[in-house]
Amino acid sequence: MKRREFLKISTALGGAAVLPSALLSGCAAPPSPPGSGKVTTTPTICEMCFWKCAGFVHKEDGEPWKVVGNPEDLHSHGRLCTRGTGGLGAFLDPDRLKRPLLRVEHKGKQSFREVSWDEALDYTAERLKRIAIEYGPESLALFSQCVGAQHFRHLARAYGSGSFAQPDYAQCRAAREVGFFLTYGETIGGQERTDMANSRCIVLIGTHIGENLHNEQVRTFTEAVGKGATIITVDPRFSVAASKSKYWLAIRPGTDLALLLAWMHVLVTEGLYDKDYVARYALGFEELAKHVAGHTPEWAYLETGIEPEIIRRTAREMAAQAPATLVHPGRHVAWYGDDTQRVRAVAILNALLGSWGRKGGLYIPEQVELPEYPLPAYPEPKTTWQDAHGGKYPFAYSGVTNELIGQSSGPDARYKAWLVYEANLPVSVPAVTEQIRRAAADLELCVVVDTMPMEVTGYADVVLPECTYVERHDPLRNDPQRRPSLALRVPAFEPQYDTRPGWWIARELGLRLGLEKWFPWKEYREVLDWQLQQVGSSLAEMERIGLKGFPRRNAEYIAPGEDYSFPTPSGKIELYSRQLEEEGFDPMPRYTPPEDTPAGFYRLIYGRMPAHSFGRTTNNPLLFQVMPENCVWVNSLTASDWKLANGTYVRLKNQDGVVSNRVRLRVTERIGPDAVYLVHGFGHRTPRLRLTDEVGASDTELITHIRIDPIMGGTGMRSNFVTFVTEEA
């Protein structure tokens, strides 16, 4: 076959685009009130985002009815968000992948052919075997996310690969984890250990809770607001959280570190920090005091645009409520390329307030001690993702997507095969369009396991359609949290069409690759039951209750005056980081101003909205109805300069000349005149997503410039500027 062309899965393969009438609001009234038939409930874990709420799928007379939260679950507190409630839309989406697809070439033209599972799996395994012989198993790169990623990580490790990467590392929260790890010896974790329900003061830096809709985060934030906590929101945009705040600090984008240093300056110079906590637990206070001495609020004003008096007043409010003051660690922190240092400043500020390990600050989470199913050790790969980094990013704890993608083409390509599970790389990893194209042309094999015909499938040789989360078993959820618990996902429905669960796909590939000793079980249920038996439960019990709580072993807070050791090299909170210094980085967070905005351009910022998760839900027929397109937020002064009217369509053009799809204008005072805002996840370009193809603008396409964090490889994505193209829009 000639070089791999980007293929859009054609509509012809998919069948008619008829939505089940029950999904269309206002259509045929149900024959009887919901719930009056025979109702069955099955435990599930929501897969509509990464938060993993436990819940139940309700069927009525065998038909899908609704998904609800499990009241025992701290992630959800019994309530699912908009997207979780729309979860059945993923199951019912008529545009789902339905059968395995194989890239074929006929008379020089490439297309996908529907094939049997045997043909797709035999083909994949045969290629993988050849690749292992010719290039070594290390030449396989795995991109995978979410709960089901474990099945494919297991397969890849048994095969002999050691190269793993995922967009929720470099494009998401990794700088936060590294920043906190360097300071406290522990990360924040996928389920933030924030004790907001008990906070009396919460500081949100960027993080836009309420639009960013992780259930427990929203619930505990709301509880704090309800109890009258002081909320301080730092955001160039008047976010939903800003609207609940006593202080909205409309910061100049990219200058947050200046504000953080000035806050520390106030706490230190006014003696408002927690002296006992710092003396007892922290190392490097003297150096910190020296470092922040020059960072006065007056200095920060020139950088941030926030008045010195407001900086002082907010610092004093934080101190007044400490240690029940939480400076929220944020989540998506891949902003400006100095993100580990900015997050380090957040970590240090929390230490000055004495809030780590304290009620109302950051509590100490625990998880269940759950044994792994006994299996032989994996082969030791000769090279791993660390070699792909080539000595860069010394504090990385996972592969950086961009590096692995970049090393998948050309004569010296490190990677010859890709296995992609639940990651839409062309949409989730900005600024690599060309590298993805080159990789796709050069790879010996590209396998994509997905539920939808997303952009990433266009680069595949083989597309393996996974059934949706309500049709499968998956690994037990065992997240570190306030009260340890295990949660289970079991299928509520048989896999529809010719789709299969991830565990089955991984196992079938494993058997064909001669890796049967790593797959001694027939059904994943056996693994789940074995694990549950070890902790005094069983699959039968969990199939009934869905979630089981376990007692904590240790306290969730550090007691006042407790002799407590932190898992850092010094055993202390490292305000001054020798670890960074030894690798040649600034031991204290040092501020560098952002670049100037070119004349006639506006900084592109982006974020979330409650109805959607990234690009994965925009075609969901239920959620599409809630929010069918995104719009671009533009300040009214900017709009009047450009003579742009609210509600009309424009295109955005970035500093490199890339032009977006048409996108509707939202003229508003809620954003300053120096930036524009887009909700991420729209602007799909794949006709097989029939509701959402070409609808709205893609922030990813406009993010052609990234700033890489030298400490851990995070890809700062907020150094892009756009202007308006108004003709024919």
Ligand X SMILES: Nc1nc2c(c(=O)[nH]1)N[C@H]1C(S)=C(S)[C@@H](COP(=O)(O)OP(=O)(O)OC[C@H]3O[C@@H](n4cnc5c(=O)[nH]c(N)nc54)[C@H](O)[C@@H]3O)O[C@H]1N2
Binding site for Mo ion (CB under 5 A): 168, 172, 332
Alpha carbon separation from 260 to 233, 237, 388 (Å, rounded):
13, 18, 34
* Subset of residues 50 to 89 that bind ligand SF4, contact rule: CB under 6 A: 51-53, 76, 80-81, 83-84
Query: Taking CB positions, which residue lies at the least distance from ligand SF4?
Result: 84
Q: How far is the CB of 235 from ligand X (least distance, A)?
A: 4
State which residue, 191 or 402, has the beta carbon closest to ligand SF4. Answer: 191
Nearest 5°: the CA angle 27, 213, 263 is 155
Give dist(CA 719, CA 705) in Å, integer. Answer: 7
Q: How far is the CB of 89 from ligand SF4 (least distance, A)?
A: 12
- The site partner of 506 among ligand X, Mo ion, ligand SF4, none (C-beta below 5 to 8 Å per kind) is none
Give the one residue of 454, 487, 515, 573 binding ligand X; rule: CB under 6 A: 454
Q: How far is the CB of 431 from ligand X (least distance, A)?
A: 9
237 binds ligand X (CB under 6 A): yes
73 binds ligand X (CB under 6 A): no
- The site partner of 670 among Mo ion, ligand SF4, ligand X, none (C-beta below 5 to 8 Å per kind) is none
629 binds ligand X (CB under 6 A): no
Q: Give how many residues touch ligand X by CB under 6 A.
A: 64
Give dist(CA 588, CA 566) in Å, integer. Answer: 19
Cis peptide before 43 (omega within 30 of 0): no
- Going by C-beta distance under 8 Å and a sequence separation of 6 or more, which residues neighbour residue 98? 13, 14, 15, 465, 496, 497, 498, 499
Q: How far is the CB of 362 from ligand SF4 (least distance, A)?
A: 20
Q: How far is the CB of 77 from ligand SF4 (least distance, A)?
A: 10
Q: Give how many residues touch ligand SF4 by CB under 6 A.
A: 14
Q: How far is the CB of 468 from ligand SF4 (least distance, A)?
A: 13
Give the one residue of 214, 344, 512, 662 binding ligand X; rule: CB under 6 A: 214
Give dist(CA 573, CA 183) in Å, integer. Answer: 6
Q: How far is the CB of 49 from ligand SF4 (least distance, A)?
A: 3
- The site partner of 628 among ligand SF4, ligand X, Mo ion, none (C-beta below 5 to 8 Å per kind) is none
CB 661 within 8 A of CB 694: yes
Q: Strands 573-574, 282-283: parallel, antiparallel or unpaired by DSSP?
A: parallel
Q: How far is the CB of 172 from Mo ion (least distance, A)?
A: 3
Alpha carbon separation from 625 to 86, 230, 375, 679, 692 (Å, rounded):
10, 35, 46, 16, 11
Q: How many CA atoms lie within 13 A of 720 on its CB side?
A: 29
- Going by C-beta distance under 8 Å and a sequence separation of 6 or more, which residues neighbour residue 17? 11, 94, 95, 690
Alpha helices in 593-689 (DSSP H): 621-626, 636-641
212 binds ligand SF4 (CB under 6 A): no
- Going by C-beta distance under 8 Å and a sequence separation of 6 or more, which residues neighbour residue 703? 430, 431, 604, 654, 717, 720
Q: Which of 264, 160, 151, 290 is nearest to 203 (CA)?
A: 264
238 binds ligand X (CB under 6 A): no
Give dist(CA 702, CA 549) in Å, integer. Answer: 45
State which residue, 332 or 414, has the beta carbon closest to Mo ion. Answer: 332
- The site partner of 469 among Mo ion, ligand X, ligand SF4, none (C-beta below 5 to 8 Å per kind) is ligand X
630 binds ligand X (CB under 6 A): no
Give dist(CA 321, CA 200) in Å, integer. Answer: 6
String of contacts with ligand X for each residue 400-429, x by CB under 6 A:
---------------------xxxx--xx-
477 binds ligand SF4 (CB under 6 A): no
Q: Which residues of 35-53 are buried (b: 16+ CB within 10 A; e: fewer)?
A: eeeeeebbbbbbbbbbbbb
Q: How far is the CB of 193 from ligand SF4 (least distance, A)?
A: 17
Q: Which two structure tokens, joined as six digits, stand for 528? A: 């789940």
| Other Cβ atoms closer than 10 A to 692 | 22
Q: Which of 465, 476, 467, 490 is nearest to 59 (CA)?
A: 490
CB 447 within 8 A of CB 461: yes
Give the one residue of 331, 507, 662, 670 binding ligand X; rule: CB under 6 A: 331
State which residue, 216 or 701, has the beta carbon closest to ligand SF4. Answer: 216
State which residue, 253 or 284, has the beta carbon closest to ligand X. Answer: 253
Q: DSSP label at 427?
A: H
CB 194 within 8 A of CB 327: no
String of contacts with ligand X for each residue 4-23, x by CB under 6 A:
--------------------
Q: What SS3 state is found at 240?
A: helix
| Other Cβ atoms closer than 10 A to 128 | 24
Q: How far is the CB of 51 from ligand X (least distance, A)?
A: 7
Give the one residue of 212, 435, 577, 630 binding ligand X; rule: CB under 6 A: 212
343 binds ligand SF4 (CB under 6 A): no
- The site partner of 23 among ligand X, Mo ion, ligand SF4, none (C-beta below 5 to 8 Å per kind) is none
Q: How far is the CB of 305 from ligand X (least distance, A)?
A: 11
93 binds ligand X (CB under 6 A): no
Q: How far is the CB of 32 from ligand SF4 (least distance, A)?
A: 28
61 by Cβ neighbours in 10 Å (0-12 / 13-18 / 19+) ranks as exposed
Give the one residue of 292, 417, 419, 452 binding ligand X; rule: CB under 6 A: 452
Give dist(CA 354, CA 382) in Å, integer. Answer: 44
Give the one residue of 177, 186, 235, 317 binding ligand X; rule: CB under 6 A: 235
Tokens 């797959």 correspond to what residue? 519
String of contacts with ligand X for each residue 650-679, x by CB under 6 A:
---------------------------x--
Q: What SS3 state is found at 78?
A: coil
* Subset of residues 155 to 174 that bind ligand X, contact rule: CB under 6 A: 167-168, 171-173
Alpha carbon separation from 127 to 131, 134, 416, 661 (Å, rounded):
6, 10, 11, 38
First to last CA, the chain: 40
State which residue, 69 or 284, has the beta carbon closest to ligand X. Answer: 69
| Other Cβ atoms closer than 10 A to 33 | 7
State which residue, 319 or 627, has the beta carbon closest to ligand SF4. Answer: 627
317 binds ligand X (CB under 6 A): no
Give the one residue of 183, 194, 207, 408 binding ligand X; rule: CB under 6 A: 207
State which residue, 153 or 219, has the beta carbon closest to ligand SF4. Answer: 219
Q: How far is the CB of 482 from ligand SF4 (least distance, A)?
A: 16
Q: How far is the CB of 218 from ligand SF4 (least distance, A)?
A: 8
Q: What SS3 state is found at 128?
A: helix
Q: Which of 450, 439, 566 is nearest to 500 (CA)?
A: 450
- The site partner of 454 among Mo ion, ligand SF4, ligand X, none (C-beta below 5 to 8 Å per kind) is ligand X
Q: How far is the CB of 53 from ligand SF4 (least distance, A)?
A: 3
Alpha carbon separation from 667 to 383, 610, 639 (Å, rounded):
52, 20, 7
**Binding-site ranges for ligand SF4 (CB under 6 A):** 46, 48-49, 51-53, 76, 80-81, 83-84, 213-215
Residues that bind ligand X (CB under 6 A): 47, 49-50, 145, 148, 167-168, 171-173, 205-208, 212-214, 234-237, 239, 251, 253-254, 256, 330-332, 335, 421-424, 427-428, 430, 449-452, 454, 456, 466, 468-469, 605-610, 612-616, 677, 680, 699-700, 703, 717-718
